[in-house]
Amino acid sequence: MRHYAAYGSNLDPARMRAYCPRSPMVGVGWIEGWRVTFAGGDLLGWEGAVTTIVESPGDRVFVALYDVHPEDAKQLDEVEGVSAGTYRKLHVRVATLEGDVTAWIYVFTGYEGGLPTAWYLSELVSAAEQAGAPADYVEQLRSRPTRDAKP
């Protein structure tokens, strides 16, 4: 499995080039039956909750697809906290204009809940714009509630 479906800040091609320099973006698509949400928050001592996705019939998540080189996959697992148990990998079907593709995603290990900081949400919005997400999807992200960062 070499395809990775990025849905959060990894939607940003520049960010992914920094993490995975041998792994090109190969397209975009949608994960049907899932939605973007947030989790973690105060549980892990972060300023706010982090992005994850959960199953949700009738919803969908915009993703950027990357063809990930095996060496880059190890780096990405480390960055995403797989070895620390923060996120886990799942395989999902991604609908693209060329047909369905199987890809892995990272989902938060724990329960949904919490709000992101305004800064974190702005990073997600920017990443979605950089990946070419539709304007209505970007606006839906932008309108999410946020919390104040801890002083």
Which residue ranges make up the annotated binding site for substrate?
4-9, 120
5-41 core/surface letters (b: 16 or more CB in 10 A; e: else): bbbbbbbbbebbeebbeebebbbbbbbeebbbbbbbb
The position carrying tokens 């990930």 is 68
Residue 25: name the closest of 93, 121, 127, 107 by CA: 127
Which residue among the candidates 32, 47, 78, 80 is catalytic per the annotation? Answer: 80
Give the β-pairing of 25-39 and 3-6: unpaired
- Tell me how far apart the alpha carbons of residues 46 and 118 are, in angstroms, rounded to a whole number: 13
Q: Please report, in range form, the residues annotated as the binding site.
A: 4-9, 120
80 is an active site residue: yes
Looking at the chain, the number of H-run helices and the number of E-run strands are 4, 5
Residues taking part in catalysis: 80
